[in-house]
Amino acid sequence: MAENNIGTDAPPNVTIYINNLNEKIKLDELKKSLKAVFSQFGKILDVLAFKTLKHKGQAWVVFEDVSSATNALRQMQGFPFYDKHMRIQYAKTKSDVIAKADGTFVPREKRKRHEEKGKRRKDQHDPNQAGMGLNPAYPGAYGAAPPMSQIPYPGGVKSMVPEAPAPPNNILFVQNLPQETQPMMLQMLFCQYPGFKEVRMVETKPGIAFVEYGDEMQSTVAMQGLQGFKMTQQNSMLITYAKK
């Protein structure tokens, strides 16, 4: 279908359309995760995703400028996201937040009446056109982290914080994370590398995490791949081997 063509259906604009998303992920979690992985490219004005059957597996991310959207499209194309590879293209229609800013906003009722005169049927079958006129209240970049079994590695947090470089081993110590980071966000990033076992966060120590792999070779590959990864524009991951 036309809406699945990657990056060629619409001219560059501030909104990217993402499909082939995992439909089993809850809506709030999906929005938070998209915000987390795309905020490294620039300021995000809105993230749109809907529960309707027609819009499942799809989302729209609205950036402040075109260059941010373009960088996101190029660098995240095919990114493994909840076990599925993202397909990204520019959105065909602008979101309400942009239309209001440039003075072209038309309220939904007026727009709907206008569409009914002509191409209503066509628009109903185009998921990349539908949805962009909707603007549900976005609850924020992150919700409060849910209580989870966040068990520190044996030995306690204090002894695990590296004061000097630790020798290579199968557990990575990750620092400089945004305080709002949740385990599922890190798992999504680290599980793309072979040998991934688990992410452990410490409830009393926000901003750090431990990531375990099968052996030190696997942890080294992951460290090299994600060293300096920007969780936000201000927070770049600092990854070292954990002290045992």
Instruction: Establish if 185 belongs to a structural domain.
Output: yes
| Structural domain range at position 20 | 15-102
Domain C-terminal end among 49, 82, 102: 102
Q: DSSP 3-state assignment of 95?
A: coil
The rounded distance, in Å, linking the Cα atoms of 8 and 164 is 50
Instruction: Establish if 226 belongs to a structural domain.
Output: yes
CATH of residue 198: 3.30.70.330
Instruction: Establish if 26 belongs to a structural domain.
Output: yes
Sheet with 196-201, edge to edge strand ranges: 196-201, 209-213, 171-175, 238-241
Domain C-terminal end among 102, 135, 154: 102
Q: What is the DSSP-derived secondary structure letter of residue 236?
A: B
- Angle subtended at Cα 191 by Cα 190 and Cα 194, rounded to the nearest 5 degrees: 105
Instruction: Establish if 137 belongs to a structural domain.
Output: no
**What residues form DSSP beta bridges with 36?**
none
Instruction: Establish if 135 belongs to a structural domain.
Output: no
Domain C-terminal end among 80, 102, 124: 102
Q: What is the CA radius of gyration of the chain?
A: 20
Instruction: Establish if 97 belongs to a structural domain.
Output: yes
CB-CB neighbours of 243 under 10 Å: 18
- Give the pLDDT of the chain (244 residues) as one tens digit per residue: 334 344 456 889 999 999 999 888 888 888 888 988 898 889 999 999 888 888 889 999 999 999 999 999 999 999 888 888 999 999 887 665 565 555 555 555 555 555 566 555 555 555 555 444 444 444 433 444 444 444 445 444 444 444 568 889 999 999 999 888 888 888 888 988 899 999 999 888 889 999 999 999 999 999 999 999 888 778 889 999 998 7
Domain count, the chain: 2
pLDDT of residue 2: 37
pLDDT of residue 99: 59
Give the residue ranges of DSSP H helices in the chain.
27-38, 66-76, 96-102, 108-117, 120-124, 157-160, 183-190, 216-226
Residue 97's closest CA among 142, 62, 58?
62
**What residues form DSSP beta bridges with 174?**
209, 239
pLDDT of residue 25: 87
Helix (H) and strand (E) counts for the chain? Answer: 8, 10
Instruction: Establish if 202 belongs to a structural domain.
Output: yes
Instruction: Establish if 163 belongs to a structural domain.
Output: no
Q: Is there a contact between 160 and 152 (Cβ–Cβ < 8 Å)?
A: yes
Dihedral, CA of residue 93, residue 98, residue 102 and residue 106, to nearest 10 = 60
